[in-house]
Each structure stands twice: as structure tokens, then as C-alpha cells.
Amino acid sequence: MTIGVIMPPTQTLIQRNISRARYSLPFLSAVQRDLITLIPALLSAGQPSCGIHGHAFNAVEDSLLKTYFPEHEPIPVERLADRVQLESIIAIPRPSPAHPGQVALQLIAVPRPEADQAALITKLKDCGDLIEDKGLIVVPALLRPPLPPRLGYDVMRLGVVLAGKHPVIRAEEQGDATIFIGELTSIEQIPMPPERGWTVFSQALDDEIQGLMSAGRYPMLFTIPSVNPYLLPYLPILNHYEENLDTARLEKLRTCLYYLFGPFPPTREDMARLTQSWKLPLLTPLDQLSIQDSLRMRLWLIPAEVDELPVCVWPPPARWSQTEIHLHKTGDLWGFSGLSMLRHRYPWVVLAWGGLTGSIGLQTYIHRHGLRLRRDARDHLVRMTACVARGVDIIVPPDHAQGSIRLRGGRFYYSDAPFALLDQGIKFSLDLDEPVIRKAMLDDTGLECFIKKGGR
């Protein structure tokens, strides 16, 4: 006896995809929507070609390519890609960690079993770079099922299938038009892929969800049609602390939601209504906070760990850059005037920390107060910050006995272990000392002057 498996009709899957898209795409700018629409074409075109299951170039993509990338090679319309490497490409618009109110697009690429992973990674990066040049931040990830449960949950709530198969969470529903991304268990078995950026607000909320998941008390598949799906995952946390009358914790979580989702276009109106009903005090926009106040908020929400150099968000908003800073030593510690929370026994650590918090930027003048720093110390610190944003995870000074700064999970830590250059990781050498004229050069100059006098 053969038992037939009932597959989700393709039309139903398409309607679900449209339903998910309506919570995000209409709230984005027209340019951002156009760039998102172009992603399958950019992946499929050129060499190497990374085609997507069932995707054919169409007239809309052709028109958009001519508008945004006129130098791109022409693509035959209504023709399937020659080399299919991807089963599906799924986009999730999220709040940008470093830029309140802006969008960062999480791009999830699901490869075919036999796909060339190295070529796909290169293609995803090239595609992301092209789109970022037009102003939309892209965070690509190449992932094979099963996806991490929380990411799978986000895909089913928010993921917009740009091309390829539609995600399902039941193995029996897998077919020609669907791809099984994994069961949504309440226990996190696989770590989430890293995002490009970190905020104390998302970290505090994620820690709360992780705590409920570890205890097996987080409902993965619940839904409330009247609630914005971006805010839905945080309702169980708020309900938990409301039932326990923990007003202090509720204030922190509501503050996190305000700063993370208040300026985000798809949730702006909903957050305005919620903050009014919560009677939250008037909060200063993130980029208008002082460095000192942002660090106070960071330590209020998440206390610093041992040897951590705390920051509120990474990368920091450009508006946090100071016009001038005064570097001085008090007792055994170096620090900046007016920034009492930035203190360390090595001046290079304080200066690097200042760059990472955003207080040192392109226009900052560093008052050395007797410390011998190179003339371009500020520019070197700006380069360091840019390199860390592009993948550097270890900062080392010229004196290898003075430890290093490590980036772990978006947070920065000082390590006093020597010779960090020998450790694995992408490194940046932060040489801030003024070049010293060698004694031999002075001796040569003196000898030359003596010889000239003797020849008269």
C-alpha cells in the first residue's frame, strides 16, 4: 500500500512569501527594493556563474541592471542560468547595528550538495560589495541545512525568497519547489552565523532568548497575527518578566527594543505605539548620546566581563567622534579627560579603545601631554578601526610584551599574553610611537662637523 505525501502547493508557498515580504519590503526605499530584486541576477551573471534553482533572467532585472549597473554585461532575458549552484537565496532585512534607522540585509544562500563552496563565497562577497557601493549593507552567509533553529525561525517569519526553493520545516514537505531547512527545536544546537556589527541592545535581547531556549521554555512556533513579526520573538521574554513583576528588567528590555527597533522603518510605527503604552521616558537618540553616556548604558544593560574593553555599538556612529581629546596619566593608569570609563595601564590600549568606541575620528586632535606619539597617530588609529571593521580580530603593539586586543563575538578584550603575532587570526600592528633618531646617525653628524673644522 502506497501512502501519498501531501506537498504544499506552489501557489500557497508563493502567497506565504508575499505575506512575509509585506512586513519589510514596502517600508524600504525604492532604491533598496530595486537592489534586493537584482541580487539573483548579480549572482547568476558573469563568471563564475552561480545560478539559482529555477531562476531565469527577466525583463524587470534587465531594466534594473541597465539602471544601476550600466557597465554590466548584457544578459539574455528568459534564459535559465547555465550553472546552477544554489538551491535558494533568502533575504532578511534587519536593523543595521551601527546605523540607527538604516537597513542591513542578511542574505542566506543555500548551496546545492555538489556546489563549489569557494566560488560561491567569492560570488556572494562580490555581489555584496556591488550593492553596498549603492548604499545597502549586505551580510551574506553560505549555509547548508539544517540551519540554526533561531535563524530558521527568522526565515519562516521574515525571510523573503528572492529565487529558488521555498523553505519548509517538515521533512515530508520537501520537494521540487521546497527545501527542508531543519526542525525548529527549542534548544540551540548550532551557533548563529556572525553578523557584521554588534550592539548591546541586540546582545541583551539575544541573551534573554538564549536563556529561555536553554531552559526549554521558549515557544519556537507561536504566532500572533496582529503583532509585527520583527517584535514577535520578544513577547515571551516581556511576558516572563511581567508575570514575575520584575520592573527593573522590563525597563532594560524595553529600552533595548526602543533603540533597536524604534528607528527601523518596518517597526517604527509599532514601536511608537508600544513606547507610549509602556510610558517609557523620552530617550535620547543613539547617535546623539555622548561617549560617556553610551558606555554607562552599555554597562547598565550588560556588565563588562574580565579584561573586556566595553563599547556600546560596533562599528560606532560617526557622530561620536570628538573634536579633541586629552591623553594623560593618573597614578598608574592612562586615560582621556572627561571619559572616566576608558582607563588602562598602557597608553596604546587607551588610544585603540578610543578608536573602537568612536571617540577618535578623522577630525580628532590628540593632546599628548608629554607622551611621544607619531605625528600621524590619529590617522593610524582611524586605519585600525577601518581594518577591524573589515575583518581584523587581533590588534598588537610594537612591544610584544604589552599584550594585545582581541575581537570576540563583536566585543573587545585585552589579553596580557605576549607575542600575539604568533597566534592565529588577522592582525593589525598598531605602532603609535614617535620614530627615534638612532644614536649612530647623531654620531655621524658630529664626526662630519669635526672633520670640516679640522680641514680649515
CB–CB of 93/70 below 8 Å? Answer: no
Coil/strand/helix, residue 239: helix
Coil/strand/helix, residue 328: strand
Identify the pLDDT of residue 187. Answer: 63
CA-to-CA dists, residue 51 to 57, 65, 186, angstroms: 10, 17, 34
Dist CA 456 CA 454 (whole Å): 6
CB–CB of 167/161 below 8 Å? Answer: yes
Q: Which residue is associated with the grid cell 512586513?
A: 23
Which residues, in sequence order, are CB contacts of 9 under 8 Å at separation 6+? Answer: none
Q: Which residue is associated with the grid cell 526605499?
A: 29
Strands (E), 116-196: 137-142, 160-164, 166-168, 178-180
Instruction: Spell out the per-residue pLDDT of the chain, length 456, in tens.
Output: 344 455 678 889 999 999 999 999 999 999 999 999 999 999 988 777 889 999 998 899 989 999 999 887 777 787 777 789 999 999 999 998 878 889 999 999 999 999 999 999 999 999 999 999 999 999 999 999 999 888 999 999 999 999 999 999 999 999 899 999 998 876 655 556 566 789 999 999 999 998 888 888 888 777 888 899 999 999 999 999 999 999 999 999 999 999 999 999 999 999 999 999 999 888 999 989 999 999 999 999 999 999 999 999 999 988 999 999 999 999 999 999 989 899 999 999 999 999 999 999 999 999 988 788 999 999 999 999 999 988 899 999 999 999 999 999 889 999 999 999 889 999 999 999 887 644 444 454 554 544 444 443
Grid coordinates of 305: 566581563
**Residue 348: is it exposed, middle or buried by C-beta count within 10 angstroms (0-12/13-18/19+)?**
buried
Residue 139 carries which side chain, given as an amino acid letter? V
Coil/strand/helix, residue 260: helix
Identify the pLDDT of residue 188. Answer: 57
Closest-CA residue to 389 (of 447, 428, 431): 428
Residue 284 carries which side chain, given as an amino acid letter? T
Identify the pLDDT of residue 293. Answer: 95
- In this prediction the pTM is 0.87
Identify the pLDDT of residue 73. Answer: 73
